[in-house]
Structure 1
Amino acid sequence: MHELSLAQGLVEQLEKAAVAENALRVERIIVVIGKYSGVERDAFEFAFPFAAEGTLSERAKLEIEELPVQVECRQCAALSNPEPTLLLCGQCGSNDVELKGGREFLIRSVELEVP
């Protein structure tokens, strides 16, 4: 499961941040996942507690924000958020578009409990 390795990598980053701040534990983490990131939200949510077990992130509340696909039209320069399965400009309907967003997988914020 690819999401488990992503969750393990996330927990490693959280551990480093917590240790650097002398935190007692990680309270909350907000992760951003784009529709084209290749990360399955449900699988990632399932994997996170296993990856966090025995770490400072073990009781952390995981929140996930999903980002839509965003394209820029090469014909009319409009930005739009089409369905991931049909990449067309929302303004003029052209299929001559460039993917501008939706591949993200990143940490938006981390809340730590510090002494």
Structure 2
Amino acid sequence: MHELSVAQALVDQVGDLAGQHGAKSVHLIRVRIGPLAGVVGDLLATAFPLAAAGTPAESARLDWVAAPIVVRCRTCGAKTEAQPNKLVCGACGDWRTEVVSGDELILETVELDIPESAGD
């Protein structure tokens, strides 16, 4: 399950952010996952507690948001949503498209617990 290595990288990135801001803990982590990213959100959520154990993110809630697949048609120029197994233009039906979004794995939000003295 490669989601564990993704969770570990996520925890490392959040740990760096927490350290930069003097946070003692992390409350929330939100990631956006496209269907073409190769990461299953439910498996990432299952792996997250293992990766976060003993880190500032240990008690954090991990939320993930599914991003839609959007393609741009090279024939008619339309941007439309598509399915993972059918990346055709929703306007004209042409198969000559390029993926605009849907392959991303993005750290969207991190809520940190920063002591008041750390902000001075």
Normalised-by-shorter TM-score class: over 0.9
> In the alignment, does 2:97 pair up with 1:109?
no
Q: Give the 4+ runs in structure 1 shifted more than 3 A.
A: none
1:17-40 per-residue CA deviation (whole Å, 9 max, x = no partner) reads: 111111110010110101100001
- Given residue 70 of structure 1, which amino acid in structure 2 is its aligned partner? V
DSSP 3-state at the match of 1:81: strand
Deviation (angstroms), 1:83: 1.2
- Is 1:55 the counterpart of 2:55? The answer is yes
CA separation in 1, counterparts of 2:54 and 2:5?
16
Q: Which runs of 5+ in 1 are unaligned?
A: none
Structure 2 gaps, min length 5: 116-120
CA distance in 2, matches of 1:43, 1:11: 15
Amino acid corresponding to residue 59 of structure 1 in structure 2: S
CA distance in 2, matches of 1:47, 1:35: 18
Equivalent position of 1:26 in the other structure: 26
What TM-score do you get using the length of structure 2 for normalisation?
A: 0.93
CA drift at 1:65? 0.8
Partner Cα separation in structure 1 for residue 17 and residue 96 of structure 2: 42
CA drift at 1:84: 1.1
What is the aligned partner in structure 1 of residue 37 from structure 2? 37
Q: Are 1:99 and 2:99 counterparts?
A: yes
Give the TM-score normalised by the residue count of structure 1: 0.97
Aligned residue pairs, count: 115
What's 1:74 paired with? 74
Per-residue Cα deviation, 1:58-77 (whole angstroms, up to 9, x for no partner)? 01011101111110001100
Q: What is the CA-CA distance between 1:100 and the residue it aligns to?
A: 1.2
Q: Show the counterpart of 2:118.
A: none
